[in-house]
């Protein structure tokens, strides 16, 4: 299949937040000063001394290209203004102490070796796993203390785990490796790959690399076109204001977990289909119709069909966005959701209701975003219709007996960096 051209058109950046209806809460993003204060205060309270610095990395929302990263395909995420902040300092020994704002009175204590596969679990695996991986790859990672504070919504499918991993990885690179990897895209690609290893091997989640790449390799005001076949990236200008548009993120508050086997089973089906077709990944297939005809397992047919059609949708969206025709991407957002719900079977009632209600209220297009099985949806809406769409979604959730959703404004923001 032909690869997408590298877009290069420049565009200004927008970070304007949106007015929301009174009963639909806007999840705020902390500014750097607030995040630094929260992480530093937690560090001092836990360890009695000041950190060496504070680093931050963003959550992400994926505009389109879902479940394609581990299939060697394209995805188009961008960094959110919502970030995880990590205050960190090196130690003279091999001990590691970790504390989170979610459990400030319950710090974890161990060693770098204790952060390896089969030894760390829960949030510790995400926070500490990068240390074990980076040392396994030859970096001189020693003991450290870290305090973690985040405004990335948990369980919302907005990559709170990748934000945590990449913020820690940036901190460890600077503290123990003179920051040699964080200074350019090639080094950041290596850090992202290490964080993928941490998530796969330590946390046990069979995710691809889109989330970590978005957190480390994005550029403010742009979406990040990721070609997972070779880990190359291109910056796609994403400026909504001139078109009078906004991307509304709808956090369904439905449970969202990827380590329960559902995500892994989708990946395994795609890998089986690729093996039957004699290719390394499904994105390498040229004649998709013939490929589908060769597969006889109905599950593998459905999973492969999503990969093939989603690839085409990403190409169209990149072309339209690059040409400044943002208002025309709605049908591909709709098509993506239909494919994810039907062929990939990763939607859920809350996501379907959110997408349907947003469309009925005037959204130009809407889809689930992230791995699925809960989490968030996005809606492309006219700026002056944001409140109308959010109200409609909140009302639909109440009508169905669901917990109230939350909303946030998605603007293409900065990648991970040292902030204090």
Q: How far is CA 205 from CA 190, 196, 311, in A?
A: 19, 9, 23
Report the alpha-carbon distance of residue 148 to residue 65 in Å, rounded.
Answer: 30
Both tokens of 306, joined, read: 């999503």
Q: Are 404 and 398 in contact (CB under 8 A)?
A: yes
220, HSE (Cβ side, Cα atoms, 13 Å): 10
Could you tell me which residues are beta bridge partners of residue 89? 145
Q: Which residues contact 207 (CB under 8 A, 6 or more apart)?
A: 69, 70, 196, 199, 200, 258, 263, 371
Encoded tokens for 21? 């209806």
- Catalytic residue, chosen from 69, 145, 173, 211, is 211
Q: Which two tokens stand for residue 5?
A: 């051209």
Q: Which residues contact 228 (CB under 8 A, 6 or more apart)?
A: 68, 69, 70, 71, 72, 73, 74, 75, 208, 209, 210, 283
Q: What is the 3-state secondary structure (H, E, C) of 384-415?
A: HHHHHHHHHHHHHHHHHCCCCCEEEECCCCCC
Query: For this structure, is 211 an active site residue?
Result: yes
Cβ(189)–Cβ(212) below 8 Å:
no
Active site residues: 211
């Amino acid at each position: 299949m032909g690869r997408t051209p590298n877009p290069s058109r420049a565009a200004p950046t927008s970070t304007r937040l949106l007015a929301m209806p009174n009963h639909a809460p806007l999840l705020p993003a902390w500014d750097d000063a607030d995040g630094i204060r929260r992480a530093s205060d937690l560090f001092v309270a836990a360890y009695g001394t000041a950190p060496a610095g504070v680093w931050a990395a963003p959550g992400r929302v994926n505009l389109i290209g879902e479940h394609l990263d581990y299939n060697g395909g394209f995805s188009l995420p961008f960094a959110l203004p919502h970030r995880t902040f990590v205050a960190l300092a090196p130690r003279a020994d091999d001990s590691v102490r970790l504390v989170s704002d979610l459990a400030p009175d319950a710090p974890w204590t161990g060693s770098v070796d204790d952060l390896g596969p089969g030894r760390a679990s829960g949030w510790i695996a995400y926070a500490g796993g990068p240390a074990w991986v980076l040392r396994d790859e030859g970096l001189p990672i020693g003991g450290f203390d870290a305090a973690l504070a985040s405004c990335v919504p948990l369980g919302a499918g907005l990559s709170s785990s990748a934000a945590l991993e990449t913020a820690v990885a940036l901190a460890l690179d600077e503290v123990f490796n003179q920051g040699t990897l964080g200074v350019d895209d090639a080094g950041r690609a290596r850090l992202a790959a290490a964080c993928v290893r941490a998530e796969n091997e330590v946390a046990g989640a069979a995710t691809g690399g889109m989330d970590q790449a978005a957190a480390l390799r994005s550029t403010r005001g742009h979406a990040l076109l990721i070609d997972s076949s070779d880990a190359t990236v291109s910056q796609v200008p994403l400026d909504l204001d001139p078109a009078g548009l906004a991307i509304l993120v709808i956090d369904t508050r439905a449970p969202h977990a990827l380590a329960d086997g559902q995500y892994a089973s989708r990946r395994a089906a795609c890998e089986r289909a690729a093996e039957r077709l004699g290719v390394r990944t499904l994105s390498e297939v040229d004649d998709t119709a013939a490929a589908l005809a060769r597969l006889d397992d109905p599950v593998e047919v459905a999973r492969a069909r999503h990969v093939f059609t989603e690839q085409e949708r990403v190409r169209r969206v990149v072309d339209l966005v690059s040409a400044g025709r943002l208002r025309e991407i709605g049908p591909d957002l709709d098509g993506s959701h239909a494919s994810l719900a039907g062929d990939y079977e990763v939607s859920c009632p809350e996501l379907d209701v959110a997408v349907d209600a947003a469309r009925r209220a005037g959204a130009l297009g809407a889809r689930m975003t992230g791995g699925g099985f809960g989490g968030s949806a996005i809606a492309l809406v006219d700026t002056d219709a944001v409140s109308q769409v959010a109200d409609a979604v909140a009302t639909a959730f109440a009508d169905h007996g669901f917990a109230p959703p939350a909303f946030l404004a998605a603007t293409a923001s900065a990648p991970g960096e040292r902030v204090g």
